[in-house]
Structure 1
């Protein structure tokens, strides 16, 4: 199952296992069961602390559990955890096997002190870049607290179960048999949902923080670059982010980051956070900014109020809140979100295997999504508002070569149809004839661009008609001491590498602003 190079790597990792592990499989006569048995035999042969002890009769087949011998600690995988989930398998072996995680001690303590019995199930797809974070978080919780159980389920393999539970987007998390959450979640987010007092405790800590020299709002590429450049100047730097990594976390393949031929969004996001942590930066995660209050006097403190009720103050602020997927804003879209309306073809595409879907949008993202989905689903209908596709010609040529793709241009999606539980079709208006048409299908993937996360700034800083923060060549906004960078701004070309450069520039501009403050103003601001 594993080639010699991969075996050598896994063997090295497994040297960190300190507690005996038992692997127990639940198998049938399928080819996947044979693959699973081969995988488990390979793993057991790589460490004298791991034993394949036989089979059980757990309902899902093929599946297997990883148990710490003589304890109630363990996790289960239903399906083969390869692809994006292979790292989840390795981490599960390490954590069940007693190797400590790099999780902050206070978070570990919070997990261990959870009171109650929690039986989690997570549906994932092997092509989903968002799923491993959820799977790994819940596996770690299971390894730290014996009253927490977790089963990670490959939705493409257990299609009947997915359909009976009407799972149409991954990751989909169930707790004690009931829906718990859907979409990417960090360990801290899961804990915040379980431990309802955590948010209040965090807010209380934030209120006591001293004013920052530079406070960065947002933890995407622009925010991370700004934090690093500010911290390197030796000034007090903080980052408040709703989720560190931002939209990069939802990006699959990245092939235009200069000097790195290929990487994936979650890997880049993890590298960004790790790099920021190399410096004395105060990272405040899971914090959504709600209001910006300008300084009352030149050189005074700017205040940022958070959704948690806390407020942070700083001598300068860098806004790098990024952007999110644009919605169609048509009837039925909200009602059937995650019930057939999706925004991540890589994550949710495998759940529509053999079905009919539509892709909305004819730019690079839309055409790439249609190409990817065409290899999974029965048929793809691509719907574009303009009279022609806007994607790069190489992508258009590839799309035109696929025999299970229909392209409709000059079309305005007007409504999403459903049966109360899931999507069953959509309607669109032909912009040439003004006639309405209906298409019967099972899923709709929306790929129509981005909208800046700046609603909370209206009436405070100058925004463009599209809602972007207006900045000058130095990243300065309309407010003294407030700078901005990245996809939330008017800078052209929304690219990761450009956002990083803009974040760095904003930090340098903020530092330049600070050192040029008159001494009297600087004293008044303290």
Structure 2
């Protein structure tokens, strides 16, 4: 199952095991089950701490990683390869006593949770976001024996996916009931399970001393800004909903200078690790609500916490633009999707549409065409806006139809899931209906700046207006990345603008702060 190089690497990792780990495999004669059994045998051969047994499980094929001394259980229904192979390795290490990279107070909070928690996490192996959720729940399961998690490959267990009407991943169920859809962190999970957790966290944040630089946002711009500020010796904090932003949902990155090719999830992990190398106070799972000026800037968070700082650097990025047509919100997660890489495998063999004819739209259509039966691309303009090379590739595929001058007017469904869409031909005014199982929206981005409407100068597109130092219309408030009026929205540009704005904040501080000796005089 595993090639020689991968076995060598895995054997090195497994040397970190400190206690026995059991692999319990449920397999039949199907090809996937035999692949899983082969994988388990390969892992078993690489460490004396690992033992392998076979049994008939609830799902086949499946493999459970058990710590017999602590009675913890982490399961994988399907073959945990692709992006989920890392989840399997971490499950082995954590079950075998390798330290879990969570704060001590978070580990104790997980260990103290009362009750039984049986999580089921439906994923697609091509999903960039899914491993983060799987690994978060797996860490919790490795800490507390009353918590279990099973990763379920939705493409392999289609009956369950259809029965539960799952049309977006990651989809998490808790004790048989829907728990969450999309990205969710350990702290967010704890906030949902422990009703007092968010309040305690908000109180702790409010008690922090004022920062020199407070960065709002954890994407490429925010990470770059925090690193540059910390390197200047400034007291630096980051408030972020989650690390990575849009980058976490990006599959292939091939224009990041000096790195020939990487993936969004890897870049996000590297960004976060780099920030952790510096003395930066990271306050995650927090969203900004309002900003007030005064002797110190005061940022109020949705949690109720208040953070004070001498300067503020806004790097809240952007999000996918919605169609804003009837049915879109009703069927979001039930056929309306925004990440073809994550949710595409759930539509295997079905007919789908892509809304938008730019690069992201045509790239999505090409990717989906390899999975689904047929793709219809609807573009509002008279022609596609994607690069010529992408247009040629799409035209060469036999299952992509492109309709221009198409204005989507409604998403239709049966009350549970999407069954089609209506559009108007802008050239003739005629209305048409297309029968579909899924709709992937790829029509650009909206800056996450609505909360600043009455605070800072925004342009007509809702972007924060900045000068060549990244400073906004309020002295001492800076901004960087996709939330600003930058000419181009690219990862490398966001990082550069984060550095620029951070240096701008440093320059502002040294020009406006009164030295301590002068204050004493």
TM-score by length of 2: 0.98
SS in 1 for 2:482: coil
Quote the Cα distance in structure 2 between the aligned partners of 1:282 and 1:316.
15
Deviations 1:93-149 (A, max 9, x none): 111112121211111111111111000000011100100011111111111111111
2:140 matched residue in structure 1: 141
1:408 matched residue in structure 2: 403
Quote the Cα distance in structure 2 between the aligned partners of 1:407 and 1:463.
35
Over 3 Å counting, the alpha-carbon distance change for 1:518 and 1:39 in structure 2 is closer
1:12 matched residue in structure 2: 12
Return the offset for 1:307.
Answer: 0.6
2:262 matched residue in structure 1: 263
Over 3 Å counting, the alpha-carbon distance change for 1:70 and 1:220 in structure 2 is closer
Quote the Cα distance in structure 2 between the aligned partners of 1:176 and 1:218.
33
Quote the Cα distance in structure 2 between the aligned partners of 1:227 and 1:437.
50
1:387 matched residue in structure 2: 382
Quote the Cα distance in structure 2 between the aligned partners of 1:444 and 1:518.
53
Return the offset for 1:69.
Answer: 2.7
Quote the Cα distance in structure 2 between the aligned partners of 1:146 and 1:521.
54
TM-score by length of 1: 0.97
1:348 matched residue in structure 2: 343
Return the offset for 1:15.
Answer: 0.7
SS in 1 for 2:299: strand
Quote the Cα distance in structure 2 between the aligned partners of 1:518 and 1:197.
39
Quote the Cα distance in structure 1 between the aligned partners of 2:511 and 2:276.
28
2:237 matched residue in structure 1: 238
1:398 matched residue in structure 2: 393
Return the offset for 1:161.
Answer: 1.1
Quote the Cα distance in structure 2 between the aligned partners of 1:334 and 1:515.
48
Quote the Cα distance in structure 2 between the aligned partners of 1:485 and 1:402.
39
Return the offset for 1:340.
Answer: 0.3
Quote the Cα distance in structure 2 between the aligned partners of 1:183 and 1:85.
16
Quote the Cα distance in structure 1 between the aligned partners of 2:25 and 2:310.
58
Matched, 1:50 2:50: yes
Match 1:445 to one of 440, 447, 463: 440
SS in 1 for 2:218: coil
Moved more, 384-393 or 186-195: 186-195
Residues 276-425 of structure 1: pairs in structure 2 closer than 5 A: 276-295=275-294, 300-425=295-420
2:93 matched residue in structure 1: 94
Aligned residue-pair number = 519
Deviations 1:303-324 (A, max 9, x none): 1111111111111111111000
Quote the Cα distance in structure 2 between the aligned partners of 1:69 and 1:510.
53
Return the offset for 1:59.
Answer: 2.2
Quote the Cα distance in structure 1 between the aligned partners of 2:515 and 2:94.
55
Quote the Cα distance in structure 1 between the aligned partners of 2:194 and 2:475.
40
1:161 matched residue in structure 2: 160
Moved more, 236-245 or 61-70: 61-70
Over 3 Å counting, the alpha-carbon distance change for 1:52 and 1:520 in structure 2 is closer
Return the offset for 1:522.
Answer: 11
SS in 2 for 1:239: strand
SS in 1 for 2:483: coil
Quote the Cα distance in structure 2 between the aligned partners of 1:442 and 1:335.
15
1:38 matched residue in structure 2: 38
Matched, 1:206 2:205: yes
Quote the Cα distance in structure 1 between the aligned partners of 2:315 and 2:22.
47
Quote the Cα distance in structure 2 between the aligned partners of 1:366 and 1:494.
16
Return the offset for 1:77.
Answer: 0.7
Deviations 1:216-240 (A, max 9, x none): 1111111111111111111111111
Quote the Cα distance in structure 2 between the aligned partners of 1:284 and 1:15.
34
Unaligned runs of 5+ residues in structure 1 are none
Return the offset for 1:520.
Answer: 8.5
Deviations 1:21-57 (A, max 9, x none): 121111122111111111111110001111112x222
SS in 2 for 1:243: strand
Quote the Cα distance in structure 2 between the aligned partners of 1:509 and 1:97.
47
Quote the Cα distance in structure 2 between the aligned partners of 1:385 and 1:200.
46
Matched, 1:426 2:421: yes
Deviations 1:352-407 (A, max 9, x none): 00000000011110000000000000000001111111111111100000000100
Quote the Cα distance in structure 2 between the aligned partners of 1:302 and 1:269.
29
SS in 2 for 1:23: strand
Matched, 1:272 2:258: no
Quote the Cα distance in structure 1 between the aligned partners of 2:514 and 2:85.
56
2:465 matched residue in structure 1: 470
Quote the Cα distance in structure 2 between the aligned partners of 1:318 and 1:96.
40
Q: Which runs of 4+ in 1 moved over 3 A?
A: 520-524
Over 3 Å counting, the alpha-carbon distance change for 1:227 and 1:518 in structure 2 is closer
Deviations 1:140-192 (A, max 9, x none): 11111111111110000011111111110000000000000000111121111
Matched, 1:489 2:488: no
Quote the Cα distance in structure 1 between the aligned partners of 2:172 and 2:336.
18
Over 3 Å counting, the alpha-carbon distance change for 1:425 and 1:475 in structure 2 is same
Unaligned runs of 5+ residues in structure 2 are none
